[in-house]
Chain A
Amino acid sequence: MTSKRPLLIPSPRTPNTQHLPALPVYSDIANPTSGGTGLFSGMDSRNPAAADNSINVELPTFKSSPQRSISSSQRSVSSSQGSVVEPPTFKSSSQRSVSSSRRSVVEPPTFKSSSQGSVVEPPTFKSSSQRSVSSLQSKASGNNSVRESISSLQSKNSGNNSVREVSFGDLESKPVRYGSRGADSEALSLSQKDLNEEDARVVYIDDLAKTNERFEYSGNSIRTAKYSVFTFLPRNLFEQFHRVAYIYFLVIAVLNQLPQLAVFGRGVSILPLAFVLLVTAVKDGFEDYRRHRSDRIENNRLASVLVGNQFHPKKWKDVRVGEIIKIQASEAIPCDMVLLSTSDPTGVAYVQTINLDGESNLKTRYAKQETLSKMPDKEKITGLIKCENPNRNIYGFHAFMEIDGKRLSLGPSNIILRGCELKNTHWVIGVAVYVGRETKVMLNSSGAPSKRSRLETRMNFEIILLSGFLVALCTVVSFCAAVWLRHNNDELDDILFYRKQDYSKGKVDDYNYYGWGLEILFTFLMSVIVFQIMIPISLYISMELVRVGQAYFMIRDGQMYDESSDSRFQCRALNINEDLGQIKYVFSDKTGTLTENKMEFQCASIWGVDYNGGRSSPEQVGYSVEVDGKILRPKMKVKADPDLQQLLRSGKDTNEGKHVYEFFLALAACNTIVPLVVDTSDPNGGLLDYQGESPDEQALVYAAAAYGFMLIERTSGHIVIDIQGDRQRFNVLGLHEFDSDRKRMSVILGCPDKTIKVFVKGADTTMFSVIDKRLNLDIIRATEAHIHAYSSLGLRTLVVGMRELSATKFEQWHSSFEEASTALIGRAALLRKVAGTIENNLIILGASGIEDKLQLGVPEAIDSLRTAGVQVWVLTGDKQETAISIGYSSKLLTRRMTQIIINSSSRDSCRRSLEDAILMSRKLMTVSADTQTDRGSSGHGGTQVALIIDGTSLVYILDSELEEKLFELASYCTVVLCCRVAPLQKAGIVALVKNRTADMTLAIGDGANDVSMIQMADVGVGISGQEGRQAVMSSDFAMGQFRFLVPLLLVHGHWNYQRMGYMILYNFYRNAVFVLILFWYVLFTCFSLTTAITDWSSMLYSIIYTAVPTIVVGILDKDLSRRTLLDYPQLYGAGQRQECYNSKLFWLTVVDTFWQSLAVFFIPLFAYWGSSIDRSSIGDLWTLAVVILVNLHLAMDVIRWNWITHAAIWGSIIATWICVFVIDAIPSLVGYWAIFHVIKTASFWLCLLAIIIAAMAPRFVVKFLYQYYRPSDVQIARELEKFGNPSASRPAQIEMNAILDLPRR
């Protein structure tokens, strides 16, 4: 649940009060009505700021809970991290509301100490803001975000509190469930409130009939396919006919079926449309078939379901709500289920949620203590689970379980979700609560909208314009025809070429004449049919073909081949190639996209000495140990620093050696890593795989192993570490798990030498405050300096400290730990407090630098994209520090940037933060604008603003009026980093931008958590990494590495956009010129819609005569070379500015078309006026003239002439000649032999030459003048390519070659 995430970085506006001592006075200020202050002393106070951010927990109001009656007066708004304690003296609800609102003053989001149990509030807050915030909070609390206060004073109402009950016994012998994390999460679940009847679903465990008694729950089968056999045809046709043009063509085809209007043959008029429809339908059908197949595979997977007293395999699709399911290790989880028991005696289960949130580490889930011992195959379990209705919040779950008369509350840590995989746990047993499409993962996969490229959308608009032209032409024709008919009405019977009346039958009858009005209508409709290619159907076919061709080249691009995963670029959507050239925003996932999600230990600062030689020495030291006759090596090798190794070998006699020893012991011990032995092919060998939730810890343990501190075994009570070949057993006396509040963890070890040591590791921000500054100040300084150096390298740093514990001190701690861990309420807070008592006065040991390995070329790629004018937003589920450190290492953030961090926890504070930030960034913008004008030409100078915002704040911002503000703010920022965002929030952010600008958005990600974002964005790119296929499956393009985005956008995107933009304009021109020629002729035929150009030529015009060159040019033409495009990323701006297709170009084309059609038509008309030329001959002349003209027009615009282009263009012209010859050699056609007669005349050739020169000249002149005097960037770059002096230019582009050359390893 995002809401429970701590707010780690202070919002810039909140005063830093984290070190304020506990002053009762403050609590008084905050809570003036709260009676005596005495009650507060020693109480734990938490930050209510975190309290109201629990949007995800959807809960009814707390009206009806019987259990609450006792505690109602004690309820308060509390946070996940703890509770605000109200005096128990309150009785009346009105008082309560006042007090709770008073209490819920926003505290600084940063807080450190859990040990000091007092209300800490900033004295600077004004009361007005307090009230506004608090009123909002109390309102919110009514709905969903009241947390039950937990305090030791309130142990009365423990019965229904949600603390996990764990029996802590003898520390050494009994398994211990450590830490406060679990308790933390459960503190959130609003256990004491009942779920509203209508909002809840009741699941009777193992009682399907009763479960389904009232509700009809769906089965577990899922369906991602769009069509079934029966719905395919209508649905697919329906979808296809969303294209305006298709409807148009359908209408035309239908019109042509009417006998009065039949201009062309009936079949012929339908053929093109039918062809396009068929091709698309086959393609769609095939895609859907693949979805069907994957659905079927998914639905037919087997799960082990309890039937009677035994677990039987059952297909996934048959799993029902309420069934008890047993999952074995490494099995996928078929539906969302509440855990009952696990193979682990403490009820822990590890799941991998990579498909859900993209995090590859293991998550712990817990079975309830009460159900742990139940074996459903041995004894029947009866009970019920009452849970909230299905929702898409994957981090939230709220339910009760009633079992054996006891009522247990369930939280998100008690449920395992479909899409996860069970790991490191032999089996779990659980009850299905949500199945099929009601599972959270299915609810989270929002349906894939079919995408249409921006260019095509625009084009559809222009097509509407063209239809306007078409209607105008037809209107002109029918109007003129009407006038003519009117004018000659009396003579119609006699006019030799009209002969209205038919005398051949007995009675005199009108022949083919339906009266004036109908004639006009028919003329109109016929002219629509004759001029139909004004709207180019061939364009749709050409576009499909061009996209296939472009996709072919993208797939074949050697620079986008990923060697590590042996994967090519994949083009999954063929509709949006050209969108790649217009991207303005890139939304990137972090884990797995920017980074490889592999943490690697890089360097350490131990006792003030920086050891980072490991990076330069390639020496791979493989320590190994022998366990049970097997030689075990760590799975991952880490480069080791030779100095450090030397130091370690020399033993721990020296002061230095001692500290190094302690440091690595801390690394090996202070964690929750579970070592697993993985068998290898070598029967005597094995690999030690360190499994754990935190990849950082894994990295540290691997590092320790590399230096000879190999963690071999971990049980609840002890760990075994092989230290330089010497196996030692340490008793784990206590362990304070990491929590995001303290941001550190500690372990208490009973060492073999009978000393008790506390090892603490944590984030520098919190560690330095618990380190004893009186000792070793210079060491601390040095370490701090090193940490700074590391983090500026983008390394993730952790500080390690230790202290020795005296026996008495340990006893003291132990008893309080015991007490805290058995406490039923507020255990988390208590444990935190206990941890606080021991995590202080530490001796600093050192710090480690871990690299969250960026993928190859990411910083360069980001830099390149930024230069190209693409805004890169990073949306990650990770925590803020991680995100920021990756931001630095990926060059997304630079030290010069001003960071705006928004961590707000209420709508109001969000609004204020946003407004402040907007003001600030505006100020910065104006300042930087000023400085920029002074500084001259250094590109992006001045202050850049980076916005860092977390998921909690986004909860308040998205879907509210604050969106507008966020968007405004974001538009000032060069970088936006969103941390802790849930999958749907990612989509929300994308939508935020997408809906507000006309700019194109691209989302790139690798995990299932990115699916919604990928689908939301205009272009979705999936990283086909090692983990999961969901992102790829939902993406439009898939590739192996983030850096391929650069060639994809800058090179292929640019090309595709330029090609497609030109192709569309050209196709408009090509068809319009032809239609206009037909139109002009109609004006000389009594408006009777005769064409001089034969029907065959009309049909072949856009199929044979002119189609191939535009397709070839659309696939192959390159305005600039790859190298130039990569050298000058700014050239990408051509697409963003829509330089290749815009209304100006469109209208220019229209004017040009008009002129060219005039030239083509009227030159022969005047030349042959009053001559004996026949219709076929002049028709052939027009045909040839227009075909040669449009092909030369294309030739004039071709930028790169390779042999294929030559072949296509000249070949088309030749083919046209041949076709004309062939058509005129068919005796049954009217125009028999016409061409052979006409080419013998000189005037034919003179006309042809004159037409071509006269028609092309204006365009040529304009083109030249424009290119020469108003050159675009692309034009300049082209000239540079051809004439440029390579040594003189490109001073700053050298490093860009990195990207260019990288893939050619």
Chain B
Amino acid sequence: MSSNTAPSSSGGAGSADATSTRRHSKRPKYSRFTQQELPACKPILTPRWVISAFMLVSIVFIPIGVASLFASRDVVEIIDRYETDCIPTTNRTDKVRFIQSPGPKKCNRTLKVSKRMKQPIYVYYQLDNFYQNHRRYVKSRSDQQLKDPKSESDVDACKPEDMANGLPIVPCGLIAWSLFNDTYSFSRNKQQLTVNKKDISWKSDREHKFGKNVFPKNFQNGSLKGGATLNTSKPLSEQEDLIVWMRTAALPTFRKLYGKIEVDLEENDTIEVILDNNYNTYSFSGKKKLVLSTTSWIGGRNDFLGIAYLTVGGLCFFLAMAFTVVYLVKPRQLGDPSYLSWNRNPGGH
């Protein structure tokens, strides 16, 4: 048998050619692909590689962390929580009854500017514990209806705010129905501060999601009033509060842009706010806050990212150091065959 097993020692890649002349042979054609021999790079995690990777991460992360912390700290924010304060003390036992009662519910608030605020100053209202992302809620809207006057009666998804008095509601659905209706007016030193409510919504929404010829109809005519009423003479594409409101928030604590104050506020300025406290967050003990905030490249005031970056960067630096020490103390030669299991414990496996 030995005569048969003599190997052809060449064994090179091209030796398959020898027989390829055979006709109708089923021999698989040689290609690097079919033989799974495509050129490839085979990275291996060597200590050096790993340590430099961690070093790199820490070098990138720590400056970013510092920068974003600074940016976040630069943002000036005035937050005024008012949902309790704006209820007369006599009515505080039953806030829901109060808020549901008709009549104006004016409320005066005073804000103090702690630091100079450069324009534009964004005016937000912040709701806590308001689940704009509740399944019932987010589904209760009709995008067709908002866009197209012909789809007016396309209200199947809008239950339970689909019809009122036998007619379809435009805009229908719980979201529109619950439109935030507290209003704010600001004055500084008895001087009215204009709040620019233009362009507070996304341009894309105004142009493509809310129709220019769709007008509110039959809105808030149901037996239960949810929130703001709409000016029936303005098309939906111009109802920016609605547009902002309809872009539902991701999280139960959220801010919505109310408007922009386009003048600088100086330090120690006192700002009088007259607000209409209409919105019922009391039935689910939601908080209402008025927020005035400047902005930075990182957005609003939030230290989290900065801290996160510093932490990750610091940890990576620490790991890089630790690996360096370990590598120096207890190195292992890569590719040492004596580590193979059958070389380590002979005879048994």
Contact = CB atoms under 8 A, between A and B. Distances in A.
- Bound together: yes
Interface of A: 488, 491, 494-499, 501-504, 511-512, 552-553, 555-558, 561, 563, 566-568, 615, 794, 851, 853-854, 856-857, 859-860, 869, 889, 932, 936-942, 1055, 1084-1086, 1088-1090, 1092, 1116, 1118, 1122, 1128, 1130, 1133, 1163, 1165-1179, 1199-1205, 1227-1230, 1232-1233, 1236-1237, 1241-1243, 1246-1247, 1250, 1253-1254, 1257, 1260-1261, 1263-1264, 1267-1269, 1271, 1273, 1276-1284, 1289, 1297-1298, 1300-1302, 1304-1305
Interface in B235-274: 247-257
B65 to A, nearest CB: 9
Interface of B is mostly: loop
B137 to A, nearest CB: 4
A794 B298 CA distance: 82
A504 B204 contact: no
A1263 B45 contact: yes
A558 B253 contact: no
A1177 B250 CA distance: 8
A889 B280 CA distance: 93
A890 to B, nearest CB: 9
A491 B129 CA distance: 14
A941 B247 CA distance: 76
Contact of B346 (A857, A938, A1205, A1279): A938
Which 5 pairs show the lowest CB-CB distances between chains A and B? A1279-B335, A1233-B204, A502-B160, A1088-B135, A937-B346
A433 to B, nearest CB: 42
B341 interface: yes
B42 A557 contact: no
A981 B43 CA distance: 51
Given A856-B5, A1204-B38, A1304 B16 contact: yes
Interface string B305-349: 100110010011001000100000010101111011111001111
Given A496-B226, A504-B222, A939 B347 contact: yes
B30 interface: yes
Nearest to A858: B1
Given A857-B5, A1233-B202, A1241-B299, A511 B284 contact: no
B149 interface: no
Given A1169-B251, A1179-B250, A1268-B332, A1273 B340 contact: yes
A498 to B, nearest CB: 6
A555 B302 contact: no
B189 to A, nearest CB: 29
B317 to A, nearest CB: 12
Given A1227-B208, A1253-B316, A1279-B336, 17 more contacts: A496-B280, A497-B132, A503-B160, A869-B349, A938-B346, A1085-B252, A1166-B304, A1173-B250, A1227-B143, A1232-B205, A1237-B202, A1260-B53, A1264-B47, A1282-B335, A1283-B334, A1289-B337, A1297-B11
A1298 B160 contact: no
Contacts of B309: 1246, 1250
7 contacts: A491-B284, A494-B96, A937-B343, A940-B347, A1085-B131, A1168-B251, A1169-B253
Contact of B255 (A499, A1165, A1170, A1253): A1170
Nearest to B279: A496
A1280 B337 contact: yes
Nearest to A498: B136
Contacts of A1267: 45
B204 A860 contact: no
A860 B5 contact: yes
Interface of B: 1, 3-5, 7-12, 15-16, 18-19, 25-30, 34-36, 38-45, 47, 50, 53, 57, 61, 64, 68, 96, 124, 126, 130-138, 141, 143-144, 147, 159-164, 174, 177-178, 202, 204-205, 208-209, 222-224, 226-227, 247-257, 280-281, 283-284, 297-300, 302, 304-305, 308-309, 312, 315-316, 319, 323, 330, 332, 334-337, 339-343, 346-349
Contacts of B223: 503
Contacts of A1089: 135
B299 to A, nearest CB: 5
Contact of A1246 (B68, B130, B342): B68
A1246 B64 contact: yes
Contacts of B41: 1200-1201
A1163 B309 CA distance: 11
A1254 B334 CA distance: 28
A1304 B36 CA distance: 16
Nearest to B311: A1254
B134 A498 contact: yes
Given A498-B136, A936-B346, A1268-B45, A567 B26 contact: yes
A798 to B, nearest CB: 19
A1086 B337 contact: no
A1277 B164 contact: no
Given A499-B160, A937-B346, A1133-B349, A1304 B8 contact: yes
Contacts of A1088: 131, 133-136
B227 A496 contact: yes
B163 A1202 contact: no
Contacts of A1118: 36
A1246 B124 contact: no
B9 to A, nearest CB: 7
Contacts of B141: 1230
A1281 B335 CA distance: 8
Nearest to A1269: B332
A1280 B339 CA distance: 11
Contact of B339 (A1175, A1242, A1264, A1276): A1276
A1243 B45 contact: no
A1247 B305 contact: yes
Nearest to B45: A1264
A1246 B260 CA distance: 26
A1276 B336 contact: yes
Contact of B283 (A495, A1236, A1289): A495
Contacts of B336: 1276, 1279
Contacts of A854: 1
A1289 B138 CA distance: 66
Contact of B302 (A1122, A1133, A1169, A1203): A1169
B135 A1175 contact: no
B209 A851 contact: no
A485 to B, nearest CB: 12
A1276 B44 CA distance: 11
Given A556-B35, A568-B26, A1178 B250 contact: yes
A1176 B143 CA distance: 15
Given A1170-B126, A1242-B298, A1281-B42, A502 B316 contact: no
Contacts of B40: 1200-1202, 1205
A969 to B, nearest CB: 20
B334 A504 contact: no
Contacts of A1261: 319
A1251 to B, nearest CB: 10
Residue with the highest number of chain B CB atoms closer than 10 Å, among A937, A1092, A1277 = A937
A807 B210 CA distance: 124
A512 to B, nearest CB: 7
B5 A488 contact: no
A1168 B1 contact: no
B7 A1297 contact: yes
A1257 B340 contact: no
A1052 to B, nearest CB: 9
B347 A1246 contact: no
B26 to A, nearest CB: 5
